[in-house]
Amino acid sequence: MNKLDLNLLKVLEVLLEERNVTAAASRLNLTQSAVSKHLARLREMFSDALFERMAQGLKPTPRALELAPQLRHIIQQLEQLTRPAAFEPSLSQRQFHIHMLDTAYSLTFPFFMRHLLAQAPNVRLKTQSWNNKSLDKLLKCEIDMGIACREWDKRSPIHMKHIPPELNHVELMREHSLCLVREDHPALSGQWDLDTFLRYRHIHVSFGGVAHWLLDDVLKANNLHRDIAIDMPDFHSGMSLCEQSDLILCAPSRFVEKLAESFKLKVLEIPVKFEAGAYVLLWHKHFEQDSGHRWLRELIINGVDGQN
């Protein structure tokens, strides 16, 4: 530990995030030469190459990947020690890490970013799509907060009551799902019911690290299932395919309301009963009294609440 230079830890953290010397230098306001020299010192400090140079950037060694979560925790602790008790948005250059569902961007950012930019012109948000590692990152304090879906239906494995006790949360908005079919879909010529819903093949969108929907859990409990023709990574692509085929697409209602006008689609109720879920803001209790973190949480909550 007598060789450990704490000033270099931030350089290592940024290199692990950017995996590119040029991008890291830009974020750190250093020259590429300076970052390369810091990397040389880091290699000596940890007795490891830390990164291999590849055509597309830097590839972390196993030792660097092992250091990453410990490094983030140490830097957070140091930032807590040196951070002013009172957060001044107009003077802050803080960076916040947020993981969120792709469908949540259009439902949240337009309603708080204008205020954030006005109050804190130098604060930076680094966002990433919510995935199957996001919850673990929240629990390890590797990210500041997340926006994910949680369910109120007791049959769901991601029910609200299953949120880990280490995390605090606020429900931002309720959400239910709707069904989409093309304008001249043959299903529209007859009765719209469960039999019709299951007669046609479906587009399934996997998002947020959730492999299947509550809808499918409810159907399975009744020995029923949807015939999935294709798995897709996003709803915009799913709606485009739905418009051009007899495939049925189930999608979050708020998201559908914003995009449906761009497609020739009919919106129907899903003929299966289950409780609506919710978009939830999640953060570790470690950040509860952090004044800057609280400022951003309240900005998001108040901004979204004003639209509900």
Q: What is the pLDDT of residues 258-299, one digit of tens each?
A: 777 788 899 999 999 888 889 999 999 988 888 999 999 999
Q: Is 171 exposed, middle or buried (0-12, 13-18, 19+ CB in 10 A)?
A: middle
The mean of the pLDDT values for the chain is: 88
Q: Which residues contact 40 (CB under 8 A, 6 or more apart)?
A: none
What gap in Å lies between CA 169 and CA 111, rounded to an integer? 19
Count of CB atoms situated within 10 Å of the CB of 265: 22
Amino acid letter, 30:
L
Q: Is 202 exposed, middle or buried (0-12, 13-18, 19+ CB in 10 A)?
A: buried
The yes-or-no verdict on residue 191 having pLDDT over 80 is: yes
Query: Parallel, antiparallel, or unpaired: how do β-strands 167-175 and 95-100 relate?
Result: unpaired
What gap in Å lies between CA 83 and CA 240, rounded to an integer? 48
Q: Is 6 exposed, middle or buried (0-12, 13-18, 19+ CB in 10 A)?
A: exposed
The yes-or-no verdict on residue 73 having pLDDT over 80 is: no
Query: Parallel, antiparallel, or unpaired: how do β-strands 248-252 and 202-205 relate?
Result: parallel
Q: What is the pTM assigned to this prediction?
A: 0.71
Q: For 134-166, how does the pLDDT look when each residue is reduced to its tens digit (9 = 90+)?
A: 999 999 888 999 999 898 888 888 889 999 999
Query: What share of residues in the chain are helix, strand, coil (percent, to 5)?
Result: 45, 25, 30
Enter the DSSP assignment of 142.
S
Full set of structural domains in the chain with CATH:
6-82 (1.10.10.10), 95-174+278-305 (3.40.190.10), 177-275 (3.40.190.10)
Q: Which residue in 168, 161, 142, 153 sits closest to 284, CA to CA?
A: 168
The yes-or-no verdict on residue 248 having pLDDT over 90 is: yes
Q: Find the farthest-apart pair of alpha carbons in the chain and give their distance in angstroms, rounded.
A: 77
Query: Parallel, antiparallel, or unpaired: how do β-strands 265-269 and 177-182 relate?
Result: antiparallel
